[in-house]
């Protein structure tokens, strides 16, 4: 018998799979791993074969550090900066704030001298200080180069001011050093503190490469921990953080296309349970092995061009039966490609998974057979949704089973069956207490306001088609009621004995009603309305009719 993906799981891994569900799903499971993983086992058959009947392929890699990765390190480490280095950033902020305040004060002084005249606020005077503020942004510190030319007014010892031009590519810290020299340590910050800041900054630029094992995985535990790790990053897919799209991990697990690609942390493990440690992911992306080729989705916690490109090529190379073009950037949903003469439309979408297409840079290794002519590909890269408690499989558009994309257990298992209903119009799930009912049909607020109305007589909901736009005439006054569920109007005189009961808010007196629009259900409804609702709710809408 040939191997299946499931046959390669160890007992410990199966137990960890079940334990992780019991720790994080809305309800524990009484199913076996075998049962819960049947869809995964079947859907990954193709990739399993490409992988040479393995669940995880590992390869040693070394890449240069990307600016995005450095920027992330800088921003994460900002609060951990040595005290004196941090003091420099604070004092530079103060200095910049004072410069800006000074410009405002000068402007206000000019303005108050001559309030009548139009005084121009010279925004360009603010620019140098905004630009310097920007040099403290982690993206600029990571690039270690100024991105936009600007000038700074620098005082000279003789009291005059010269314009100091900052060229594109200048090191940000060089600009700060010039600033201290020109304005003085008192104003900008001490040179010692600044040097501490330089030392702190330089450590990020020295970690110039990313080394490690790049893993290509269809292992169930790697889907469950797609965004759970010991490397301090997370996303909306996280199980432990109850990410608002964590059900997407199950669809990726059951998808015939999705592979989890990640850099394994060499120095730490992620403890899925107190006694089961799994690979911790320093960097992670999803890649799809699909038609017309291998496509990268989105990476966390930062985008890295070289790793992404490498991953796509690596996966394409596994497929020895097809020839592929070298990876190229894929712009959803039209492939702008210099590699091929082809006109390609590729439209990847999904169900409960958050569709990341269009929110990052994607790479594609295109099969050469699509290098010419016109081709269009629309595919859903989600596998089936599956309740992690009872294992029931759902076509993911079967919305009846889940309230939202964070839910790992179905409604039945989560014990929510009686609590939620679905809008008849748009299918949105709504708590019963929030639903608008017309007869026995529930609607969400938005749809209800499009199809129905609430009758002011009875407080009952009805369809718009059954309502009549209604105006009551009260002597010389009128009440606009809007829609009322009174299909057949008749013109009636109010019975004599009720005539003096109507309080007319506008004239602060009891009013006499000559006539009123009334339904054929009889006078009692009308009186009920006039005696209670008219006075309480509609008095404010009384409006004098012109003679």
Binding site for Zn ion (CB under 5 A): 387, 389-390, 410, 413, 423, 425-426, 428, 444, 447
Q: How far apart are CA 530 and CA 279, in angstroms?
A: 73
Min dist CB 27 to Zn ion, Å, is 7
Min dist CB 421 to Zn ion, Å, is 11
Q: How far apart are CA 474 and CA 504, in angstroms?
A: 8
Peptide bond into 301 cis (omega under 30): yes
Q: How far apart are CA 2 and CA 404, in angstroms?
A: 39
Please tell me whether residue 469 adopts helix, strand or coil conformation: strand
Name the residue nearer to Zn ion (CB basis): 364 or 387: 387
Name the residue nearer to Zn ion (CB basis): 131 or 389: 389
Q: How far apart are CA 11 and CA 280, in angstroms?
A: 20
Name the residue nearer to Zn ion (CB basis): 220 or 292: 220
Min dist CB 425 to Zn ion, Å, is 4
Min dist CB 446 to Zn ion, Å, is 6
Min dist CB 391 to Zn ion, Å, is 7
Tokens linked to 348: 């990847």
Min dist CB 21 to Zn ion, Å, is 11
Q: How far apart are CA 520 and CA 526, in angstroms?
A: 10
Per-residue buried b or exposed e for 82-120, using 16+ beta carbons within 10 Å of the residue's own CB: eebbbbbbebbeebbeebeeeeeeeeeeeeeeeeeeeee
Name the residue nearer to Zn ion (CB basis): 389 or 461: 389
Name the residue nearer to Zn ion (CB basis): 7 or 32: 32
Q: How far apart are CA 504 and CA 543, in angstroms?
A: 10
Cβ-based neighbours of 196, under 8 Å, separated by 6 or more: 82, 84, 85, 88
Residue 321 · residue 368 · CB < 8 Å: no
Min dist CB 414 to Zn ion, Å, is 8
Min dist CB 18 to Zn ion, Å, is 15
Residue 193 · residue 173 · CB < 8 Å: no
Residue 183 · residue 95 · CB < 8 Å: yes
Relative orientation angle of helices 127-134 and 83-113, to the nearest 10 degrees: 160
Name the residue nearer to Zn ion (CB basis): 296 or 389: 389
Min dist CB 415 to Zn ion, Å, is 10
Among 293, 288, 329, smallest CA distance to 309 is for 329
Among 443, 452, 448, smallest CA distance to 424 is for 443
Name the residue nearer to Zn ion (CB basis): 81 or 390: 390
Q: How far apart are CA 256 and CA 42, in angstroms?
A: 8
Relative orientation angle of helices 127-134 and 172-183, to the nearest 10 degrees: 130
With tokens 């996966």, the residue in question is 315
374-380/343-349 β-pairing: parallel
Residue 149 · residue 175 · CB < 8 Å: no
Min dist CB 485 to Zn ion, Å, is 21
Among 283, 297, 282, smallest CA distance to 252 is for 297
Min dist CB 388 to Zn ion, Å, is 8
Name the residue nearer to Zn ion (CB basis): 446 or 458: 446
Phi and psi at residue 546, to the nearest 5°: -60, 140
Q: How far apart are CA 227 and CA 282, in angstroms?
A: 10
Name the residue nearer to Zn ion (CB basis): 269 or 399: 399
Min dist CB 37 to Zn ion, Å, is 15
Please tell me whether residue 118 adopts helix, strand or coil conformation: coil
Name the residue nearer to Zn ion (CB basis): 438 or 444: 444
With tokens 């200080």, the residue in question is 129
Q: How far apart are CA 262 and CA 270, in angstroms?
A: 14
Min dist CB 345 to Zn ion, Å, is 31
Among 496, 494, 478, smallest CA distance to 528 is for 494
Cβ-based neighbours of 62, under 8 Å, separated by 6 or more: 209, 210, 211
Name the residue nearer to Zn ion (CB basis): 210 or 435: 435
Structure letter (DSSP) for residue 496:
G
Min dist CB 236 to Zn ion, Å, is 22
Name the residue nearer to Zn ion (CB basis): 423 or 454: 423
Name the residue nearer to Zn ion (CB basis): 417 or 458: 417
Name the residue nearer to Zn ion (CB basis): 69 or 444: 444
């Amino acid at each position: 018998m040939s191997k299946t993906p499931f046959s390669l799981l160890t007992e410990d891994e199966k137990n960890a799979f079940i334990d992780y569900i019991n720790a994080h799903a809305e309800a524990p499971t009484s199913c076996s791993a075998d049962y819960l993983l049947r869809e995964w086992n079947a859907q990954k058959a193709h990739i399993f074969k490409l992988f040479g009947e393995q669940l995880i392929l590992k390869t040693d890699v070394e890449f240069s550090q990307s600016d995005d990765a450095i920027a992330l390190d800088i921003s994460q480490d900002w609060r951990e900066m040595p005290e004196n280095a941090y003091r420099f950033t604070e004092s530079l902020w103060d200095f910049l704030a004072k410069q800006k305040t000074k410009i405002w004060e000068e402007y206000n002084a000019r303005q108050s001298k001559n309030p009548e005249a139009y005084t121009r606020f010279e925004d360009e005077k603010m620019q140098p200080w905004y630009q310097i503020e920007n040099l403290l942004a982690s993206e600029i510190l990571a690039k270690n180069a100024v991105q936009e030319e600007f000038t700074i007014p620098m005082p000279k010892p003789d009291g005059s001011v010269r314009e100091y031009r900052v060229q594109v590519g200048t090191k940000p810290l060089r600009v700060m050093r010039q600033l201290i020299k020109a304005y003085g340590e008192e104003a900008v910050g001490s040179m010692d503190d600044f040097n501490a800041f330089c030392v702190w900054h330089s450590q990020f630029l020295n970690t110039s490469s990313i080394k490690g094992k790049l893993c290509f995985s269809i292992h169930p535990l790697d889907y469950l921990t797609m965004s759970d790790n010991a490397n301090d990053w997370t996303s909306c897919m996280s199980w432990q953080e109850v990410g608002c799209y964590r059900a997407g991990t199950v669809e990726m697990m059951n998808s015939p296309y999705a592979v989890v690609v990640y850099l394994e942390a060499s120095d730490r493990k992620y403890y899925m349970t107190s006694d089961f440690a799994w690979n911790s992911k320093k960097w992670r992306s999803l890649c799809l092995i699909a038609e017309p080729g291998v496509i990268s989705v989105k990476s966390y916690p930062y985008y890295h061009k070289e790793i992404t490109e490498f991953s796509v090529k690596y996966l394409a190379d596994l497929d020895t039966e097809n020839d592929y073009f070298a990876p190229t950037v894929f712009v959803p949903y039209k492939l702008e490609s210099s590699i091929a003469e082809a006109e390609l439309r590729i439209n990847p979408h999904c169900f409960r998974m958050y569709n990341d297409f269009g929110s990052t840079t994607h790479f594609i290794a295109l099969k050469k057979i699509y290098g010419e002519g016109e081709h269009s590909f629309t595919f859903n890269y989600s596998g089936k949704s599956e309740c992690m408690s009872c294992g029931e499989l759902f076509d993911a558009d079967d919305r009846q089973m889940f309230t939202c994309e964070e839910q790992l257990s179905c409604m039945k298992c989560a014990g929510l069956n009686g609590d939620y209903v679905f809008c008849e119009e748009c299918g949105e799930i709504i708590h019963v207490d929030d639903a608008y009912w017309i007869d026995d049909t529930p609607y969400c607020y938005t749809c209800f306001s499009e199809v129905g109305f609430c009758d002011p007589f009875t407080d009952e909901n009805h369809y718009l088609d059954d309502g009549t736009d209604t105006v009551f005439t009260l002597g010389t006054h009128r009440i606009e009621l809007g829609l009322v569920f009174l299909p057949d109007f008749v013109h009636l005189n109010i019975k004599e004995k009720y005539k003096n009961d109507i309080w007319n808010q506008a004239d602060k007196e009891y009013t006499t009603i000559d006539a009123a629009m009334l339904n054929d259900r009889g006078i009692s409804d009308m009186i009920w309305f006039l005696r209670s609702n008219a006075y309480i709710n509609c008095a404010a809408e009384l409006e004098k009719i012109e003679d």
